[in-house]
Structures are given as C-alpha cells and as structure tokens.
C-alpha cells in the first residue's frame, strides 16, 4: 500500500497550508475564524506554530466563540486546528464539523494538517465546503476517497513550521544558554492512555513521565476560548521545551514530544502509537529532515 501511495504523490506536492490560506483570503477577502482543538501539552506546539504562521503572513483571525455563527458576516471561513482528533477514538473535531453544519450550513471550512482514518462516511455526509490538509499519505488516501482531490492536500504537521526564534520563546532560549550545551541522561516520556505504544514496556527504573499530560485540556471543548489563549499557549510550549532541554535523548510515543525534542537537536527513540501515527508522520515529514537523530521503533 505504501508504494502505491508514493506513486500518487511526491515531495514536491506538499502544500504549505498557511501560504494556501493567505492566497485564498487575498482573493476573496474572507474573514478567518479559528477553532482550537482540546488536547495536551504537545498539542500546544501545533497551536503556537499556527498562531505564528498566521501572524507572519498578516492573516487576521478571530477565535471562535460558543455563538460564533451569530457573528457570521456571510464571508467567514472556519479554520480548525490540526492534530489527531478526527479519528474514531475521539469526537471533538467531528462534533465541531457537525456544529458548523447545523448552525452555518454550506460554510467553508479548512482543517489544518491532521491525521484521520475511518471518518470517510462522516465527511461525505457533511453539507460543508471542506478543504482538508493531511499530514501523512495514509490520511491523504482516506480523505481523498470522501472529498474531491481538489479539496485535499498533503502537507506537514503544523508544528514543523514553528519559529523558535520568536521572542515568546525567550525563556527557553535563556535556559539553553545557561545549560551551554550540557545534556545528559535519557527522558522516558511514554503515553499512559489508550494511544500508548505496544512495543515498549515501562518499568519503574525508567522513571517515566508522560510530560504531555502535565498540562492538558486547557479547553475541555473545541468551542472553549481557553484552547487558544495565546499567552497560555506560548507559556505551555516554553514549559515543554525547557523540560526537554537537560536531556540528551528522549524516548517517547508522543508525536509532539518527539518533534519538540528534534527541533532542539535531541536524539529521539520514537515508538509508534496504537494506530501508526508516528511512523506515518516520520515517513512523510521527519525522515529526510531529522533521520540522523531518530531511531524509529515500529
């Protein structure tokens, strides 16, 4: 299956979702309404990068409130944060799409780079104009079977567009200066939830800390503004990156713990999660960029 997918697409066809969005609203003068997806500390890396990318391109946005549809100008485009929530295990993105269909039918919706499987029938049922960015080939194939291929794009996980030189990461950079490149020991950060890997047995000697769960679900619902409280988002990402800095190697089945560590130049033992998300993103985005730092365990 993987070989067939590779023949469908090549690396030159990755589309930057933020450049695409900038071009679209430049032509249509649409207003961006941004919805966060509830999640853990690692998901805040996606949110921070998304905010940066919108700001860098001069894309004004408002944060979707509980009664967003009452403020609809008739020219709104609803943008949903990327991630791994549009799968049968979770219901937050499905509920968000259902909510938009109910209160603002036929609206334009953009789903930023995400993983998805098993949601084809739901996508086909929606009376919405959806553009879907996929962060791996398998999701591209799944979503393309439900939507027109002109509405589906292969991209990279949004966290990979982040700029760590942003002034809001000053705390992390200051800690890096204090450490002066000193790093030691290994951090084991294996999940403790239903997505945890089947290929690593956590023992007491590992002192495992699932750091993504240390700060989780600032917004318990997609429509909660706390899911995109900008100051809190950058505070969370600083916390996570500073937590990773003193370690030489990270062992994890958390995609964004791995990505955060790679962005810091750490060695990473990457274990696949329960449904193959990490290995798929690795093949689509991480292999060429970070292959010398990653040891992948399937």
Q: Which residue has the higher pLDDT, 219 or 203?
A: 203
pLDDT at 6 over 80: no
DSSP-derived letter for residue 30 is P
pLDDT at 44 over 60: yes
What is the predicted pLDDT for the residue at 105? 93
Condensed to tens digits (0 to 9), the pLDDT of residues 74-114 reads: 889 999 999 999 999 998 899 999 999 999 999 999 999 99
DSSP-derived letter for residue 190 is -
Q: Which phi and psi (to 5°) does residue 202 adopt?
A: -75, 125
What is the predicted pLDDT for the residue at 10? 47
Same domain, 21 and 127: yes
pTM across the whole model: 0.91
Give the angle subtended at the CA of 164 by the CAs of 15 and 274, to the nearest 5°. Answer: 60
User: Which residues neighbour 8 within 8 Å (Cβ) at sequence distance 6 or greater?
Assistant: 137, 140, 141
User: CA neighbours within 13 Å on the CB side: how many for 223?
Assistant: 12
- Domain containing 45 equals 2-160
Same domain, 148 and 41: yes
CA dihedral sign of residues 263, 205, 216, 274: positive
Condensed to tens digits (0 to 9), the pLDDT of residues 128-182 reads: 999 999 999 999 999 999 999 899 999 999 999 999 999 999 999 999 999 988 8
In a domain, 261, yes or no: yes
Confidence of residue 12 (pLDDT cuts 50, 70, 90): very low
Condensed to tens digits (0 to 9), the pLDDT of residues 211-258 reads: 988 876 554 444 455 457 788 889 999 999 999 999 999 999 999 999
pLDDT at 296 over 80: yes
Instruction: Give 141-155 as a DSSP string.
Output: HHHHTTS-GGGEEE-
Instruction: Give 95-106 as a DSSP string.
Output: HHHHHHHHHSTT
Boundary residue ending a domain (113, 132, 160): 160
Question: How many angstroms separate the Cα of 247 from the Cα of each of 5, 76, 238, 243?
Answer: 36, 45, 15, 8
| Rounded distance between C-alpha atoms, residue 61 and residue 185, angstroms | 42
% the chain with pLDDT above 90: 74
Q: Which two tokens stand for residue 126?
A: 């929606």
Boundary residue ending a domain (160, 191, 206): 160
What is the predicted pLDDT for the residue at 74? 84
What is the predicted pLDDT for the residue at 217? 54
Residue whose pair of structure tokens reads 């000193």 in the numeric block: 182
Count how many domains the chain has: 2
CATH number, domain with residue 57? 3.40.50
Same domain, 143 and 204: no
Query: Which residue pairs, CB below 8 angstroms and at least 24 apart, start in 207-212?
Result: 210/254, 211/41, 211/187, 211/240, 211/243, 211/244, 211/254, 211/257, 212/40, 212/41, 212/42, 212/43, 212/240, 212/254, 212/256, 212/257
Same domain, 142 and 229: no
Contact in structure between 50 and 44 (CB atoms under 8 Å): no
pLDDT at 8 over 90: no
Classify residue 130 as exposed, middle or buried by CB count within 10 Å of its CB (0-12, 13-18, 19+): buried
Boundary residue ending a domain (121, 137, 160): 160
Same domain, 37 and 103: yes
Same domain, 26 and 134: yes
Q: Which residue has the higher pLDDT, 67 or 118?
A: 118
Give the angle subtended at the CA of 141 by the CAs of 258 and 32, to the nearest 5°. Answer: 70
What is the predicted pLDDT for the residue at 157? 98
| Rounded distance between C-alpha atoms, residue 144 and residue 284, angstroms | 17
Mean pLDDT of the residues in the chain? 90
pLDDT at 273 over 90: yes
In a domain, 288, yes or no: yes
Contact in structure between 52 and 163 (CB atoms under 8 Å): yes
What is the predicted pLDDT for the residue at 226? 46
């Amino acid at each position: 299956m993987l070989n067939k997918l590779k023949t469908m697409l090549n690396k030159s066809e990755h589309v930057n979702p933020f450049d695409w969005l900038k071009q679209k609203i430049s032509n249509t003068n649409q207003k961006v309404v941004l919805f966060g997806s509830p999640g853990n500390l690692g998901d805040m890396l996606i949110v921070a990068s998304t905010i940066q990318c919108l700001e860098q391109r001069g894309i004004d946005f408002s944060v979707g409130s509980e009664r967003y549809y009452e403020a609809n100008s008739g020219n709104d485009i609803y943008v949903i944060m990327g991630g791994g929530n549009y799968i049968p295990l979770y219901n937050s993105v499905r509920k968000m799409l259902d909510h938009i269909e109910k209160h603002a039918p036929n609206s334009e919706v953009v789903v930023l780079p995400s993983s998805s499987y098993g949601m084809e029938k739901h996508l086909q049922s929606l009376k919405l104009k959806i553009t879907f960015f996929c962060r791996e080939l398998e999701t591209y194939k799944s979503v393309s079977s439900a939507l027109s291929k002109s509405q589906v794009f292969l991209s990279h996980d949004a966290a990979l567009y982040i700029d760590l030189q942003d002034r809001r990461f000053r705390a992390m950079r200051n800690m890096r200066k204090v450490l002066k490149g000193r790093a030691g020991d290994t951090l084991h950060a294996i999940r403790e939830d239903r997505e945890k890997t089947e290929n690593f047995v956590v023992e007491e000697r590992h002192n495992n800390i699932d750091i993504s769960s240390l700060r989780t679900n600032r917004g318990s619902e997609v429509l909660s503004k706390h899911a995109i409280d900008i100051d809190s988002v950058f505070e969370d990402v600083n916390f996570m990156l500073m937590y990773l800095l003193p370690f030489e190697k990270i062992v994890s089945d958390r995609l964004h713990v791995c990505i955060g560590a790679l962005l810091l130049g750490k060695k990473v033992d990457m274990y696949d999660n329960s449904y193959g998300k990490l290995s798929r993103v690795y093949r689509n985005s991480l292999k060429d960029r970070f292959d010398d730092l990653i040891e992948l365990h399937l």
